[in-house]
Structure 1
Amino acid sequence: MTAAGWPEEETDGPPSFGGRWRRALAWIRGRLAALAEAESERWVLWLPVAFGSGASLYFGLMQEPPWWIGLVTAGGAGILLLIVRRRFVPAAVTVALLTAVGGFLVAQGHAARVAAPVLTRGITAATVTGRVMAVERRPGAVRLTLHAPSISRLSPEQTPATLRIRLSDRHPPPAPGSVVRLRATLSPPQAPAEPGAFDFQRRAWFMGLGGVGFATSAVEAMEAPPVTGWSTVALAFERARGVIAERVAATIGDPVEASVTTALLNGEEFGIPEETLEDFRNSGLAHLLSISGLHVGIAAGILFYVVRAMLATVPYIALRWPIKKIAALFGILSALAYTMLVGAPLPTVRSVLMTGLVMGAIMLDRDPLSMRLVAFAGLVTIALDPEGMLGPSFQMSFAAVVALIAAFERGSLRLAAIRRDAGWLVRSLLYVGGILLTSVVATLATLPFSLFHFQQIAFYGVLSNLIAIPITSFWVMPWSLIAYALMPFGAEAPALIAMNWGDRAVIWTAELFGRLPWASLTVPAMPVEGFAVLVAGGLWLCIWTRRWRWLGLVPILAGLASPALVTRPDVLVAGDGAVVAVRMADGRLSASGKGGGRIVETWRERDGDRTAADPWPAAGGWADGAGRSSMACDDWGCLYQLRGKIIALPRLADALDEDCGVADAVVTAAVARGCRAGLVIDRWALRHGGAHTLTVTGEGIRIETSNGRQGERPWSGPGR
Structure 2
Amino acid sequence: MMSRPFRSVLLVYQAFIGDRERWPLWLPVLLGSGIEIYFSLPSEPPLWAGWATAAILATIAWRLLGKSDVFLLFLACAVVSLGVGVSSLRTWWVAAPVIATETGPLSLTGQVRHVEHLVSGQRVTLIHLSGSRLAPASTPQAVRVKLMGEQPPFGPGDWLELRANLLPPPPPAMPGAFDFQRQSYFQGLGGVGFAFGKVAVIGAAPHMGIDSLGFAFQRVRVDLARRIGAGFADEPAGRAVGGVATALMTGERGAIPETVLDDMRASGLAHLLAISGLHVGLIAGIVFFALRGALALIAPLALRYPIKKWAAVGALFAAFGYALLAGATVPTQRAFLMIALVLLAVLFDRRAVSMRLVAWAAMAILLLSPESLLGASFQMSFSAVVALVAVYEYLRRKGVFDTPPQTWSGKVGRYVAGVALTTAVAGVATGVFAAYHFNRVADFSLAANLIAVPVTALWIMPWAVVAYALMPFGLEYLALAPMGWGIEAVIATAREVAHWPGAVTDIAAFSVWGLVWVAVGGLWLALWQRPWRLWGAPVAVLGLLGVLGGPSAPDVLIHPDGKLAAVRTGAGDYSVSTLTAAKFERDVWLRRAGLSAKPRRWRDPDTDPQQLRCDALGCLYRTAGRSVAFTRAPEALNEDCWRADVLVAAMALNPAAQDRCRVATRLITAEDLQRGGTHAIWLGDGKGGDSGPVHIETVNGQRGDRPWVIKAKK
TM-score bucket (shorter structure): over 0.9
Structure 1: how far apart are the matches of 2:511 and 2:156?
42
Query: Cα deviations across residues 144-181 of structure 1 (Å, max 9, x unaligned)?
Result: 10012112112111010000001103334532211111
Q: Tell me what 2:569 maps to.
A: 584
The counterpart of 2:178, out of the listed 187, 191, 198, is 198
Q: Tell me what 2:673 maps to.
A: 686
Structure 1: how far apart are the matches of 2:405 and 2:263?
42
Q: Which sits farther off after the overlay, 652-661 or 534-543?
A: 652-661
Query: Cα deviations across residues 337-356 of structure 1 (Å, max 9, x unaligned)?
Result: 11111111111110000000
Q: Tell me what 1:226 maps to.
A: 206
Q: Tell me what 1:385 maps to.
A: 369
Is the 8 Å Cα contact of residues 156 and 205 (structure 2) preserved in structure 1? no
Give the alignment of 1:593-632 within 5 angstroms. Answer: 593-594=578-579, 595-617=581-603, 622-623=607-608, 630-632=611-613
Distance 1:88 1:316, change over 3 A: farther
Distance 1:601 1:417, change over 3 A: closer
Query: Cα deviations across residues 668-703 of structure 1 (Å, max 9, x unaligned)?
Result: 432333242512222211221111111112533211
Q: Structure 1 residue 583: deviation in Å?
A: 0.5
Identity %: 40
Is the 8 Å Cα contact of residues 419 and 427 (structure 1) preserved in structure 2? no
The counterpart of 1:667, out of the listed 630, 634, 648, is 648
Give the alignment of 1:309-388 within 5 angstroms. Answer: 309-388=293-372
Structure 2: how far apart are the matches of 1:148 and 1:514?
44
Matched, 1:49 2:35: no
The counterpart of 2:415, out of the listed 419, 426, 431, is 431
Is the 8 Å Cα contact of residues 621 and 633 (structure 1) preserved in structure 2? no
Q: Tell me what 2:688 maps to.
A: none
Matched, 1:247 2:227: yes
**Any idea what SS the aligned residue of 2:701 has?**
helix
Query: Which residue type is aligned with residue 566 of structure 1?
Result: P
Give the alignment of 1:173-322 within 5 angstroms. Answer: 174-223=154-203, 226=206, 228-252=208-232, 253=235, 254-322=238-306
Q: Tell me what 1:137 maps to.
A: 117
The counterpart of 1:445, out of the listed 422, 425, 429, is 429
Structure 2: how far apart are the matches of 1:461 and 1:351?
22
Give the alignment of 1:527-566 within 5 angstroms. Answer: 527-563=511-547, 564-566=549-551
Q: Tell me what 1:714 maps to.
A: 707
**Any idea what SS the aligned residue of 1:242 has?**
helix
The counterpart of 2:629, out of the listed 644, 648, 658, is 648
Structure 1: how far apart are the matches of 2:181 and 2:626?
34
**Any idea what SS the aligned residue of 1:218 has?**
strand
**Any idea what SS the aligned residue of 1:46 has?**
helix
**Any idea what SS the aligned residue of 2:197 has?**
coil
Q: Which sits farther off after the overlay, 297-306 or 318-327?
A: 318-327
Is the 8 Å Cα contact of residues 455 and 525 (structure 1) preserved in structure 2? yes
Structure 1: how far apart are the matches of 2:163 and 2:217?
28
Structure 1: how far apart are the matches of 2:469 and 2:633?
63
Q: Which sits farther off after the overlay, 178-187 or 269-278?
A: 269-278
Matched, 1:506 2:490: yes
Structure 2: how far apart are the matches of 1:687 and 1:415?
62
Q: Structure 1 residue 125: deviation in Å?
A: 0.6
Distance 1:117 1:421, change over 3 A: closer
Q: Structure 1 residue 306: deviation in Å?
A: 0.9
Distance 1:68 1:276, change over 3 A: same
Query: Cα deviations across residues 426-465 of structure 1 (Å, max 9, x unaligned)?
Result: 3322221111111111111111110111111111111111
Structure 2: how far apart are the matches of 1:285 and 1:173?
34
Query: Which residue type is aligned with residue 599 of structure 2?
Result: A
Q: Tell me what 2:52 maps to.
A: 72
Matched, 1:571 2:567: no
Structure 2: how far apart are the matches of 1:667 and 1:453?
30
Matched, 1:155 2:135: yes
Q: Tell me what 2:618 maps to.
A: 637
Structure 1: how far apart are the matches of 2:434 and 2:302?
46
Q: Which sits farther off after the overlay, 268-277 or 363-372?
A: 268-277
**Any idea what SS the aligned residue of 1:463 has?**
helix
Q: Which sits farther off after the overlay, 234-243 or 198-207?
A: 234-243
Query: Which residue type is aligned with residue 193 of structure 2?
Result: G
Q: Structure 1 residue 653: deviation in Å?
A: 6.1
Q: Tell me what 1:13 maps to.
A: none
The counterpart of 2:72, out of the listed 92, 102, 122, is 92
Is the 8 Å Cα contact of residues 19 and 528 (structure 2) preserved in structure 1? yes
**Any idea what SS the aligned residue of 1:214 has?**
strand
Q: Structure 1 residue 507: deviation in Å?
A: 0.4
Query: Cα deviations across residues 619-641 of structure 1 (Å, max 9, x unaligned)?
Result: x77437xx6xx111234432212
Structure 1: how far apart are the matches of 2:394 and 2:190?
48
Is the 8 Å Cα contact of residues 712 and 719 (structure 1) preserved in structure 2? no
Structure 2: how far apart are the matches of 1:643 and 1:537?
37
User: Any stretches of 5+ residues in structure 2 without a counterpart?
Assistant: 686-691
Q: Tell me what 1:524 maps to.
A: 508
Structure 1: how far apart are the matches of 2:613 and 2:164?
40
TM-score if structure 1 supplies the norm length? 0.93
Cα RMSD after superposing both structures:
1.9
Q: Structure 1 residue 418: deviation in Å?
A: 5.3
TM-score if structure 2 supplies the norm length? 0.94
User: Any stretches of 5+ residues in structure 1 without a counterpart?
Assistant: 1-8, 10-21
Query: Which residue type is aligned with residue 684 of structure 1?
Result: E
Q: Structure 1 residue 359: deviation in Å?
A: 0.2
Structure 2: how far apart are the matches of 1:559 and 1:390?
18
Is the 8 Å Cα contact of residues 571 and 580 (structure 1) preserved in structure 2? yes
Query: Which residue type is aligned with residue 252 of structure 2?
Result: E
For these two proteins, the number of residue pairs brought into alignment is 695
Is the 8 Å Cα contact of residues 147 and 163 (structure 1) preserved in structure 2? yes
Q: Structure 1 residue 413: deviation in Å?
A: 4.5
Structure 2: how far apart are the matches of 1:441 and 1:296?
20
Is the 8 Å Cα contact of residues 656 and 672 (structure 1) preserved in structure 2? no
Q: Tell me what 1:17 maps to.
A: none
Q: Tell me what 1:701 maps to.
A: 694
Query: Which residue type is aligned with residue 541 of structure 2?
Result: L
Distance 1:586 1:430, change over 3 A: same
Q: Tell me what 1:33 maps to.
A: 13
**Any idea what SS the aligned residue of 1:112 has?**
helix
Is the 8 Å Cα contact of residues 113 and 126 (structure 2) preserved in structure 1? yes
Query: Cα deviations across residues 561-594 of structure 1 (Å, max 9, x unaligned)?
Result: 2232312211111233331111112110122111
Q: Structure 1 residue 535: deviation in Å?
A: 0.7
Is the 8 Å Cα contact of residues 127 and 151 (structure 1) preserved in structure 2? yes
